[in-house]
Amino acid sequence: MLKTSRSIAGLFVIVLVLLPLLTACGGGTPPAANEDAPAEDTATEEEAAADTEEATDPEEEATADDETAATKEAAITTYADIAYASYVDSYQTALELQEAINAFVAEPTAQTQESAKQAWLAAQEPYGQTEVYRFYGGPIDDEDGPEGLLNSWPLDEVYVDYVEGETDSGIINNPDEYPEITQELLVELNQVGSEESVSTGYHAIEFLLWGQDLSTDGSGDRPFTDYIAGDEGTAANQERRADYLVAATDLLLVHLDEMQQAWTPDVADNYRSEFLAMEPDTAIQNILTGMGVLSKSELAGERMFTAYDNQDQEDEHSCFSDNTHRDIITNAQGIRNVYEGTYAGLTPETTVEGTGLQAVVAAADADLNDQMLTLLEQSLENANQIYVPFDQAIVLPEERPVVLDAVTVLQDQGDTIAEIGSALGFSINTALP
């Protein structure tokens, strides 16, 4: 038994000696830990590959930055081009208005009066699309800007001329205090005492052509005989009324010319050159501010909801001519022009097709860009559905919801413009200044 035990013990020793040798040569079963080793190697390789993919090529990053900068620059330049083109069209249509008014006061007839009215309506089409250039201290409404002389409203009729029940009211019927009606006098008297004391601009001309709107479903009906001197004329001070109409129209051209000069290309010291030299983000912030304030506060709020809420035609924008529906449409179109980088000019020379803000926004947030494009289309569609005249749309029960829908979309559009600003890295205040 002892001999057998020793033999077994010896064999056990031999096995213990050989086992490491077999393992070292690849024989036998490898330890469990070695089974996981290839997996660790694979994971390390995958992490390395991921790190390689995440690493940004400096040249690619620089190229992307250059492309973004170029897109912003192109959009800013297109904005300036559209501003210039729309002011050129506004000036040219005002020249045609001036010609029609001169013909009217030289020979007052129903036909020449109607021609002057049609010229006024035509002049509103391009000008309405320029109001998107307001609200950020640009040349139209900085401290020296002429906006208050061009398009102030509402206008208190009694400040300018006679109204029902007050035949001797207004600047026109006060020759003792204002013996001569001149451009300088009208500028001096504009908005003296109150914002409604408007003596200049499109709406003063509108009132002098159409007269007070006393109709529930139509425009003002001033007789052309208000401009015929002598016994055949109606009202008093017909010649002074003609002088006022001519002076206000001439003044309109002076201020519109200031705007087209401010945006004229290739001028070293005008506003356009200053605007294009701004930091791109500052310029874009200004552009979006003009769009946002017009959409949410001025158009949806002041021009539409106030009239809707009060149900008062005195609160509508172009109340004498009943052209408010076109004001709403052209304002909304102006916002779309800027965002999409296009302007349907009155001539081939004033038609613009370029890079819009949509290209800048799409690169930053494609979904937000799609949302904005949808709102632009919807806002114009809703504006075109508003009942005409607007002063009835705000009182007829079946038409009021259409107005409110249009207001809501314009407000949503203003909020989206503020979101766009955030996506681009800055804040947009859509409240009126």
Q: Tell me how far apart the alpha carbons of residues 158 and 181 are, in angstroms, rounded to a whole number.
A: 17
Q: What digits encode the pLDDT tens for the residues 118-155? A: 999 999 999 999 999 999 999 999 999 999 999 999 99
* H or E, element range at 263: none
| Confidence band of 60 (pLDDT split at 50, 70, 90) | low
Planar angle of CA 83, 89, 93, nearest 5 degrees: 145
| Confidence band of 4 (pLDDT split at 50, 70, 90) | very low
Q: What digits encode the pLDDT tens for the residues 347-383? A: 999 999 999 999 999 999 999 999 999 999 999 999 9
At 62 the pLDDT is: 63
At 53 the pLDDT is: 46
Rg (CA), the chain: 36
Q: Tell me how far apart the alpha carbons of residues 222 and 211 are, in angstroms, rounded to a whole number.
A: 5
Predicted confidence (pLDDT) at residue 16 exceeds the cutoff of 60: no
Contact, 372 vs 417, CB < 8 A? yes
| Confidence band of 9 (pLDDT split at 50, 70, 90) | very low
The residue-averaged pLDDT of 402-418 equals 98
Predicted confidence (pLDDT) at residue 15 exceeds the cutoff of 80: no
| Confidence band of 314 (pLDDT split at 50, 70, 90) | confident
Query: Which two three-digit tokens encode residue 138?
Result: 């640009």
- What is this structure's pTM? 0.86
Predicted confidence (pLDDT) at residue 239 exceeds the cutoff of 50: yes
Question: For the CA atoms of 178, 183, 187, 189, what is the dihedral angle to 10 degrees?
Answer: 10
* Count of other CB atoms within 10 angstroms of residue 106: 11
Domain annotation for the chain: domains and CATH numbers: 72-424 (1.20.1420.20)
At 216 the pLDDT is: 81
Q: What digits encode the pLDDT tens for the residues 179-206? A: 999 999 999 999 999 999 999 999 999 9
| Confidence band of 43 (pLDDT split at 50, 70, 90) | very low
